[in-house]
Structure 1
Amino acid sequence: MSYLAKIETLPEGARWPQLRDWMKTEPLPLFAELRAHRPVLVLPELTLVTRHSDCVDILARHDLYSVAPYAPKQGSYWMAQDDTARHWREKSIMRALLDRERIPEMRAWAEAEATRLLSESCDAVDAVRTLTRGVPIAFVQHWFGFEDADPEALLKWSYWNQMDAFWNQPFDAPAFATADEIVASREASNDEMRGYLVGLFQKKGGQLQAGGAPTDMISRLIVMARAGVLEFNAELAVLNAGGLLIGAVETTSHAAVNAARVICEDPVRLEAARAAARSGDERAFDGFVFEALRFRPAFPYFFRIAEDDTALARGTDHETAIPRGAMVLAVTHSAMFDPTAVSAPETFDPRRRLQDTFTFGYGVHECLGRAVGAALIPAIVKVLLLDATRSPCDVDYRNGPVPEAWRWQPV
Structure 2
Amino acid sequence: MAVATIESARVPTIDIDVFGEEFLADPYGYHAQVRDAGPVFYLRKYGIYGMARHAEVSAALKDWQTFISSRGVGLSDFATEKPWRPPSLLLETDPPVHDRTRRLMNQVVSLAALRKLQPLWQAEADALVDTLLARRNVDGVTDLAQAYPLRIFPPTIGLPEEGRENLLSYAMATFNAFGPRNRVFTDSEAAAGPAAAWVAMACKRANLSASGWGADVYAAADAGACTEDEAERLVRSFLSAGVDTTINGIGNMLHAFARHPEQWAKLRAQPSLVKRVFDEALRWDSTVQTFFRTTSRAVTVGDVAIPEGSKVLLFFGAANRDPRKWDDPERFDIERVASGHLGFGFGIHQCLGQMVARMEAEAVLNALLPRVRRIELTGEPVRILNNTLHALGSLPIALIPE
User: Structure 2 length as normaliser, TM-score?
Assistant: 0.79
Does the CA-based 8 Å contact 1:74-1:80 persist in structure 2?
Answer: no
Matched ranges for 1:56-95 at <5 A: 56-67=58-69, 68-70=71-73, 72-95=83-106
* 1:391 CA drift (Å): 2.8
Pick closer, same or farther for the CA change 1:321–1:360 going to 2, 3 Å.
Answer: same
Pick closer, same or farther for the CA change 1:286–1:395 going to 2, 3 Å.
Answer: farther
Pick closer, same or farther for the CA change 1:310–1:34 going to 2, 3 Å.
Answer: same
The aligned counterpart of 2:397 is: 408
Segments of 5+ residues of structure 1 without an aligned counterpart are 1-11, 205-214
Structure 2 residue identity aligned to 1:397: R
CA distance in 2, matches of 1:377, 1:14: 38
CA distance in 2, matches of 1:149, 1:333: 35
Residue 281 of structure 2, aligned match among 280, 292, 303: 292
* Partner deviation per Cα, 1:229-267 (whole Å, 9 max, x = no partner): x3x233322222222123211110100111221222122
The aligned counterpart of 1:212 is: none
Structure 1 residue identity aligned to 2:16: R
CA distance in 2, matches of 1:203, 1:349: 42
**Larger Rg over CA atoms:** 1
Structure 1 residue identity aligned to 2:149: P
User: Structure 1 length as normaliser, TM-score?
Assistant: 0.78
The aligned counterpart of 1:163 is: 172
* Partner deviation per Cα, 1:19-38 (whole Å, 9 max, x = no partner): 8735753627x444544453
* 1:131 CA drift (Å): 1.7
Secondary structure of the corresponding residue to residue 252 of structure 1? helix
Matched ranges for 1:32-71 at <5 A: 32-44=32-44, 45=46, 46-67=48-69, 68-70=71-73
CA distance in 2, matches of 1:23, 1:340: 24
* Partner deviation per Cα, 1:78-97 (whole Å, 9 max, x = no partner): 13533233222111111101
Secondary structure of the corresponding residue to residue 94 of structure 2? coil
Matched ranges for 1:12-411 at <5 A: 15-17=16-18, 21=22, 24-25=25-26, 27=28, 30-44=30-44, 45=46, 46-67=48-69, 68-70=71-73, 72-121=83-132, 122-123=134-135, 124-146=137-159, 148-150=160-162, 153-160=163-170, 162-171=171-180, 173-175=182-184, 179-183=185-189, 185-186=191-192, 188-198=194-204, 200-201=206-207, 204=210, 215-228=211-224, 230=225, 232-277=226-271, 281=272, 284-311=273-300, 313=301, 316=302, 319-343=303-327, 345=329, 348-384=332-368, 386-388=371-373, 391-392=376-377, 393-400=379-386, 401-409=390-398
Does the CA-based 8 Å contact 1:137-1:154 persist in structure 2?
Answer: yes
Percent identical across equivalent pairs?
Answer: 19
Pick closer, same or farther for the CA change 1:155–1:69 going to 2, 3 Å.
Answer: farther
CA distance in 2, matches of 1:333, 1:52: 9
Pick closer, same or farther for the CA change 1:325–1:246 going to 2, 3 Å.
Answer: same
Does the CA-based 8 Å contact 1:110-1:380 persist in structure 2?
Answer: no
Higher-helix-fraction structure: 1
Does the CA-based 8 Å contact 2:218-2:231 persist in structure 1?
Answer: yes
Structure 1 residue identity aligned to 2:72: P
Structure 1 residue identity aligned to 2:287: A
The aligned counterpart of 1:207 is: none
Secondary structure of the corresponding residue to residue 154 of structure 1? coil
Secondary structure of the corresponding residue to residue 403 of structure 1? strand
CA distance in 2, matches of 1:341, 1:75: 37
CA distance in 1, matches of 2:347, 2:229: 27
Pick closer, same or farther for the CA change 1:38–1:390 going to 2, 3 Å.
Answer: closer
Pick closer, same or farther for the CA change 1:245–1:17 going to 2, 3 Å.
Answer: closer
Structure 2 residue identity aligned to 1:91: R
* 1:201 CA drift (Å): 4.9
Secondary structure of the corresponding residue to residue 58 of structure 1? helix
* Partner deviation per Cα, 1:267-293 (whole Å, 9 max, x = no partner): 21121123234xxx3xx1121332122
* Partner deviation per Cα, 1:153-190 (whole Å, 9 max, x = no partner): 32323532x33332233447444xxx345445555433
Structure 2 residue identity aligned to 1:133: Q
* 1:306 CA drift (Å): 2.8
Structure 2 residue identity aligned to 1:149: E
* 1:43 CA drift (Å): 1.7
Secondary structure of the corresponding residue to residue 92 of structure 1? helix
Does the CA-based 8 Å contact 2:252-2:285 persist in structure 1?
Answer: yes
CA distance in 2, matches of 1:142, 1:91: 22
CA distance in 2, matches of 1:276, 1:61: 38
For this pair of structures, how many residues does the alignment match? 370
CA distance in 2, matches of 1:347, 1:158: 30
Segments of 5+ residues of structure 2 without an aligned counterpart are 1-12
CA distance in 2, matches of 1:24, 1:39: 24
When structure 1 is superposed on structure 2, of 105-114 and 343-352 the one drifting more is 343-352
CA distance in 1, matches of 2:122, 2:64: 37
Pick closer, same or farther for the CA change 1:219–1:299 going to 2, 3 Å.
Answer: closer
When structure 1 is superposed on structure 2, of 107-116 and 241-250 the one drifting more is 107-116
Structure 2 residue identity aligned to 1:321: A
* 1:74 CA drift (Å): 4.2
Pick closer, same or farther for the CA change 1:15–1:334 going to 2, 3 Å.
Answer: closer
Does the CA-based 8 Å contact 2:14-2:41 persist in structure 1?
Answer: no
Structure 2 residue identity aligned to 1:274: R
Pick closer, same or farther for the CA change 1:188–1:410 going to 2, 3 Å.
Answer: closer
